[in-house]
Amino acid sequence: MKILVVGLGLIGGSICKALKKYTDYTVIGSDLNKETEQTALAEKSIDTVFSGDFSESDLVIICLYPEAAEKYFAENASSMSSGTLVTDVCGIKGSFAERMKKIAADNSMEYIGIHPMAGKEFGGYANSTPDLFVNANFIVAPFEDSSEKNTDLLKKLAQQMEAGKIVVTSPENHDKMIAYTSQLAHIVSSAYVKSPELELECGFSGGSFQDMTRIATMNEVMWTDLFMQNKENLKFELDTLVKNLKKYSDALENSDAETMRELIREGRILKEENLKRRIGQPN
Amino acid sequence: MKILVVGLGLIGGSICKALKKYTDYTVIGSDLNKETEQTALAEKSIDTVFSGDFSESDLVIICLYPEAAEKYFAENASSMSSGTLVTDVCGIKGSFAERMKKIAADNSMEYIGIHPMAGKEFGGYANSTPDLFVNANFIVAPFEDSSEKNTDLLKKLAQQMEAGKIVVTSPENHDKMIAYTSQLAHIVSSAYVKSPELELECGFSGGSFQDMTRIATMNEVMWTDLFMQNKENLKFELDTLVKNLKKYSDALENSDAETMRELIREGRILKEENLKRRIGQPN
């Protein structure tokens, strides 16, 4: 199989490296930045730089931000061979995926989205690694009428890159879950660093501060794009969190130790149950 | 020097083990649970079990929850030798430390609090380890009139246990900073697990979900105690966070991508500056 990876950033670069490390597929790389393409070639992360001829590729993996991914696909779909499988790695599916599906169908191709649940707080090809997906959760988000063959091909690809739990779910459910497990976490981290005490925290923090603020370094262009395309789900999660945080604030305001104990106890039990469900699971 | 460690839980047990590993001091251990005392003795985490004679000890480290620590000190201070240095490891200082200071002064002893910024999401002697404090931040919180000799002794102890950055600060500033770096993080983690999506998150999460929820397993008795003794500082931090989170919620509500980008950008820059300040710092 010949695979074209479009966009050699953290995820695209890591996919190239993982494919080269764990499979025998031919990996073709494309990036707006020609230096990145040459670096990837020199490092043997890819077999060749994309020539401009899409007919070479059986599978196209678009590793761009959502808006750019859609634009790229719309502009180039007519140059791709019919029967090509196209996927993307965006952290949003939903109506974005519907539009991608339509572009594919209009050009006799199939589109099915994937979302490897792996990342780093710093992006770019320089941070990419062949083992980014090892033991990570990996979501494949076909439509009701997607072909089983291509869904299985993407699942197999995840397995080959040594992903942990591979979940097949609808684009809608993907967005609902991701709003909670990933997008909300990024907003909390971003808001957490906005205390006047931040400037003085050196020497006063343990692991919990680091855990809370690690991902505040996220790229604002990509994440705004992701958030805006999932705003109903994300707003629900954010408002649920704020509503819950206020209960702790009220307990402090009222010096109500009993309620505070109960609030913490509830959280502890929920997390303990969560940990039990996760036994043997990645992440 | 002979050191009595009262309470052989995660922190007390780890202090015993660190003292045995990194110093030649004699370590005396005391715990309400006699089995824990015997385990610590058998594992050579302590040299002897506390006999009931406080006059053997030059330094008493009380490793109990705040309320219990104060009660223990009040009940036993008159049995301790004058000149004994007494410390505690509680995550709260402020008025608690003032009361501890008074008990010490009334019995011709000195009290200075410490707070090693290390912990785990699960407590108890079974989880204690000699290297818990290695490279961790370590706070010593003397009063304006505390003796330099004893402040230095506690700093030296932290150094010997291989702590990272050792910070000397007032009890009041300790509480203000800890409200932000530790207590707020625990409340966020506890509230984060209260989404209806929690039950279904398996397979949909990456590292950020784990980071956000790791400490939700905290013990409700200890943390309620800590929160209630620091409620003004903590409420300020919590309300600041909620106020900031609402800005992101409003941007979603208004489909205002420009404001969202700016909110994320502000957070990114704050965290990047924070990381620069932390270069070469522990945690």
Residue A69 is encoded by which pair of tokens?
Answer: 């991914």
Q: What is the pLDDT along chain A (283 residues), one digit of tens a residue?
A: 999 999 999 999 999 999 999 999 999 999 999 999 999 999 999 999 999 999 989 999 999 999 999 999 999 999 999 999 999 999 999 999 999 999 999 999 999 999 999 888 788 999 999 999 999 999 999 999 999 999 999 999 999 999 999 999 999 999 999 999 999 999 999 999 999 999 998 889 888 999 999 999 999 999 999 999 999 999 999 999 999 999 999 999 999 999 999 999 999 999 999 999 877 665 5
Structural domain ending residue among the three candidates B110, B138, B169? B169
Q: How many residues does chain A have?
A: 283
Chain B nearest-CA distance from A52, in A, is 33
Look at B206 and A117 and tell me if their CB atoms are within 8 Å. Answer: yes
Instruction: Count A/B contacts: CB-CB distance under 8 Å.
Output: 316
> A9 with A140, same domain?
yes
Assess if residue A182 is contained within a domain.
no
Assess if residue A212 is contained within a domain.
no
Residue B98 is encoded by which pair of tokens?
Answer: 């003032």
Assess if residue A232 is contained within a domain.
no
Residue A175 is encoded by which pair of tokens?
Answer: 């967005």
Report A:81-120 residues touching B (Cβ under 8 A).
117-119
Give the residue carrying structure tokens 């989404």.
B195
> B45 with B141, same domain?
yes
Assess if residue A163 is contained within a domain.
yes
Chain center to CA of A216: 16
Look at A177 and B245 and tell me if their CB atoms are within 8 Å. Answer: no
Complex ipTM: 0.90
* Cβ proximity of B206 and A137 under 8 Å: yes
Confidence (pLDDT) at B70: 97
> B253 with B137, same domain?
no
Counting Cβ atoms within 10 Å, is residue A199 exposed (0-12), middle (13-18) or buried (19+)?
A: exposed
Range of the domain at A163: 2-170
Chain A nearest-CA distance from B280, in A, is 11
Query: Which residue does chain B place closest to A179, by CA atoms?
Result: B197
User: φ, ψ for residue B200 (rounded to 5)?
Assistant: -110, 5
Among B236, B112, B239, B119, smallest CA distance to B176 is for B236
Assess if residue A7 is contained within a domain.
yes
Percent of chain B exceeding pLDDT 90 equals 92
Whether chain B has a CB inside 8 Å of the CB on A172: the answer is no
CATH of the domain at B214: 1.10.3660.10
Look at A181 and B206 and tell me if their CB atoms are within 8 Å. Answer: yes
Q: What is the DSSP string of A206-268?
A: -HHHHHHHGGGG--HHHHHHHHHTTHHHHHHHHHHHHHHHHHHHHHHHTT-HHHHHHHHHHHH
HSE at residue B57, side-chain half, CA atoms within 13 A, is 28
Confidence (pLDDT) at B123: 85
State yes or no: pLDDT of B283 exceeds 60. Answer: no
Structural domain ending residue among the three candidates A170, A187, A207? A170
> B153 with B28, same domain?
yes
Tens of pLDDT along B107-124?
999 999 999 998 887 889
Give the DSSP letter of residue A81: P
CATH of the domain at A64: 3.40.50.720
Domains contained in chain B, number? 2
**Distance between CA atoms of B1 and B150, rounded to whole angstroms?**
13
What residues pair up with A138 in beta bridges, in sequence order? A116, A166
- The CA–CA distances, whole Å, from A157 to A11, A25, A138, B109, B114 equal 14, 10, 10, 68, 52
Structural domain ending residue among the three candidates B109, B144, B169? B169
Give the DSSP letter of residue A60: E
Assess if residue A218 is contained within a domain.
no
Assess if residue B282 is contained within a domain.
no
Residue A229 is encoded by which pair of tokens?
Answer: 């395309």
